[in-house]
Amino acid sequence: MNRPLVAILSGAGISTDSGIPDYRGPNGLWRKDPEAEKLVTYEYYMGDPEIRRRAWQMRRKNRTLQAEPNAAHRAVAGLERSGVPVRVITQNVDGLHQLAGMPARKVLELHGTARSFVCTGCHARGPMEDVLARVDAGEDDPRCLTCGAILKPATVMFGERLDPVVLGQAAAITKACQIFIAVGTTLQVHPAAGLAGVAADHGARLVIVNAEPTPYDEIADQVIREPIGTALPKLMHKLRTEDTHQTME
């Protein structure tokens, strides 16, 4: 009767069908505009007002906050609603898993969220829309209304450490799960990439759903190269029916 715990590690590839480009793929943001990486590098961002101005304009134009969940996000949420224990560990900052219906407490955002801002001085937080409204009104480098310090998105920039609490929770889930699915991630950015190896070492069934080869394909129990928008709903449906059969036995 015990249902297997399913851990899903999601990367940028799960959100491309929602209109959010990935970073390192053939049409990725960093490949098309290497200078864009400076806009999300903590040292450059904190030290250069012009970088901050460009970064706020980039946030005004990007489609992350307008994006809607796609079939893959909905399939993951559907698996959770069916009663299968699901935990999502995501490298994405778009919040689409939660918008699709995954309970926020079951989603670990390794790289933070683009839907909130944080003050680099007093650590006040709030909705990103509030700051973008100020940028729309003419502020090119908005400061904290409480303490006057520099504001940034509540994402982990290059040069910042991941939250050790969130990382610890991700490691605990990875060690405890029976099925670990890595979807839309190149599995090249550590420490997140290493979770696939940890899962396999602890006896989980490792499934990789990604268009390009990853360093962990050789140890995976299953590698799926189909488009994520069709592959993941099929896989989630299979897990639901597998689980039903196990429960009925």
Which region among 31-40, 63-72, 95-104 has the lowest average model confidence (pLDDT)? 31-40
Ramachandran region of residue 181, left (φ > 0), alpha (ψ -120 to 50) or beta? beta
Tokens (6 digits) for 119: 């003050």
Per residue in 150-206, pLDDT (tens digit) is 999 999 999 999 999 999 999 999 999 999 999 999 999 888 999 999 999 999 999
Q: How far apart are CA 97 and CA 64, in angstroms?
A: 13
pLDDT at 23 over 80: no
Neighbours of 33 (CB within 10 A): 12
Helix, coil or strand: residue 125: strand
Q: What is the DSSP letter of 16?
A: G
What is the residue-averaged pLDDT of the chain? 91
pLDDT for res 96: 97
Q: Can you give the pLDDT at residue 21?
A: 74
> What pLDDT band is residue 249 in, cutting at 50, 70 and 90?
very low
Residue in 195, 69, 12, 222 with CA at minimum distance from that of residue 77: 69
Bridge partners (DSSP) of residue 116 are: 127
Residue position matching structure tokens 């009767």: 1
Exactly one of 73, 97, 111, 190 is catalytic; which is it?
111
pLDDT value of position 175: 98
Dihedral over alpha carbons 220, 225, 226, 231 (to 10 degrees): 20
Q: What is the mean pLDDT of residues 22-50?
A: 75
Q: What are the respective helix, strand and coil percentages of the chain, to the nearest 5?
A: 45, 20, 40
Superfamily of domain 22-62+115-155: SIR2/SIRT2 'Small Domain' (3.30.1600.10)
The SS3 assignment for 149 reads: coil
Does the pLDDT value for residue 3 go beyond 90? Answer: no
Q: How is the chain split into domains, by residue range? A: 1-20+69-111+161-249, 22-62+115-155
| Domain pair 1-20+69-111+161-249 / 22-62+115-155, same fold | no
pLDDT in the model for residue 61: 82
Check residue 247 and give its pLDDT. 35
Verify whether residue 111 is a known catalytic residue.
Answer: yes
Dist. CA 50–CA 68, nearest whole Å = 31
Label residue 246 by pLDDT band (50, 70, 90).
very low
pLDDT recorded at residue 111: 95
Mean pLDDT of 83-112: 97
CATH 3.30.1700.10 fits 1-20+69-111+161-249, yes or no: no
- pTM comes to 0.90
Comparing 140 with 63, which gets the higher pLDDT?
140
Q: Is-contact 195 174, C-beta < 8 A?
A: yes
pLDDT of residue 196: 97
